[in-house]
Structure 1
């Protein structure tokens, strides 16, 4: 979480405190359930957000790693019970990344497999984002996972404040742990939130980024509309995801790879569905435009799909 850096004191007088990044951002939070304004004091310090919404009483659990700003249903359960409940009730494309073993493995080999599909790696993805959106005040890293991109956005870019959001509690804990160990990176603002019901007011972010995530969202259209809502007029959206080529990436290197490829094609003909939603270029263009974005540019290189677009200016 963002914290205020200690201010040095003089024996003769105390200097005027300089606001930290987290203290200098305008009012941005709202209840995801009823859209009631959520004020934090000092301004926008995440650890001073209220424990519940003053209007609808939706509760906001917190830990030392992140604040949970999702819509709560039923009593607040201990984390292991919450995980079991989510694994039983959440859509299939969400549950995998809530497993502790997957969060642990994400930067310990899982993410490297993306290179087989043409993903260039976190460094290059940040370079692509900076080419598209070189300057920004407030940036949302949606579906941040273990923080593999968030840490770079907070460290090597001119962006003033980065808020990293994910639905998976285990991913957020991994992100917090890695951020604490990265001596170069400032402490991240970590939030648990649902992309379909974001806890942010309208038109607050200059840039929204989402890396390898759209295919995991339960309802892609709802997520895109929410990201459009929270972007400022003229704000830019940059995302990467998998094209439909992904399910066959790397099969030739596996034992019985050709047989596995044929089996997947047979299952598709029989109507079997992948738990994830992979896209072709035309579908991505349609979805992004339908959410309200303009100047939509979608490029696909094997399984690597890149979306660049913006919200219409005022």
Structure 2
């Protein structure tokens, strides 16, 4: 099997309908649950983005107020436009990590290790991590998922600027509370500075746990208390660890590192 066919095969086994829970290889040709939307939508992969949010799969239309403000905020075109133009320099000054995304990417790659299979960048934003991973060319398949269609639009533009082919990153609009992945289908998941934006952190981490294969790894970062939970939901380091354990990770396989108000969660299934 050549490289492209092998990558497509792994996609067919990994991506699942958030409604009927079937993959492309198991979805019926006539599905009463998702009205065949899933099978039709995934034919776009990997050359075009697919929308696998539950609302879209069920009704064919988006629900504007489906998520809390901390999630919906990132769908605003102005936010997605400024996301990569404003935030990285601020992160690099130390708000996120000393060295910003360069440091975070290196830490994540060291944690993931070599010879990666299927890796998902969940809550990818403009795909800063996914694009770096594609340029590294050390994994079989990269999936970039976000709820914001405007963020994913920026991702496509940045891929063109970086010279990354559409076939190198599969782009999915998805919902962290109903991830479109089959159980045990992902080798690693990265989620950068995102948990505080999710509708429900425990549900999100649980869904990631279920999607990871045995030995699969999660590297997630988020801002922490004492930042006030006004729009975003911030946690303590202990709460973050408990979320991972409640989601299914064994306590011995959960590590939380903090630097100021920034936390890194490392888990192994």
CA contact (8 A) 1:200 1:230 kept: yes
- The answer to whether structure 1 residue 183 and structure 2 residue 173 are counterparts is no
Partners of 1:236 and 1:308 within 8 A in 2: yes
Q: Distance in 1 between matches of 2:164 and 2:33?
A: 40
> 1:310: which partner in 2?
268
- Quick one: distance in 1 between partners of 2:77 and 2:266? 32
Preserved contact between residue 220 and residue 264 of structure 2 (Cα < 8 Å): yes
- Paired residues for 1:1-314 under 5 Å: 18-20=2-4, 22-25=7-10, 27-39=13-25, 54-58=31-35, 59-60=37-38, 65-72=48-55, 75-77=59-61, 82=62, 85-86=63-64, 88-114=65-91, 115-119=93-97, 120-135=99-114, 136-156=116-136, 158-183=138-163, 187-246=168-227, 273-294=229-250, 295-311=253-269
Question: What TM-score does the superposition give when structure 2 sets the normalisation length?
Answer: 0.85
Q: Which has the higher helix share?
A: 2
Residue equivalent to 1:12: none
Task: Return the offset for 1:197.
Answer: 0.8
Report deviation, 1:128. Answer: 0.2
**SS at 1:129 equivalent:** helix
Runs of 4+ in 1 over 6 A off after TM superposition: none
Question: Given that residues 239 and 307 in structure 1 are in contact (C-alpha distance below 8 angstroms), is that contact kept between their aligned partners in structure 2?
Answer: yes
- Compute the displacement of 1:246 (Å): 4.4
Equivalent position of 1:261 in the other structure: none
User: What is the Cα deviation at residue 131 of structure 1?
Assistant: 1.4
Give me the whole-angstrom Cα distance separating, in 1, the residues matched to 2:23 and 2:134.
26
Aligned pairs, number: 254
Deviation of the 1:117 alpha carbon: 2.1
Partners of 2:207 and 2:136 lie apart in 1 by: 27
Shift, 1:23, TM fit: 2.6
Q: TM-score, normalised by structure 1?
A: 0.74
Task: Structure 2 unaligned segments of length 5 or more: list them.
Answer: none
Q: Deviation per CA, 1:7-49, whole angstroms, max 9, x where unpaired?
A: xxxxxxxxxx834153342622221012123239xxxxxxxx9
Mapped partners of 1:130, 1:246: distance in 2: 28
CA distance in 2, matches of 1:209, 1:194: 15
Alpha-carbon offset, residue 116 of structure 1:
4.3
Give the 3 Å change call, closer, same or farther, for CA 188–287 of structure 1 in structure 2: same
Secondary structure of 2:7's partner?
coil
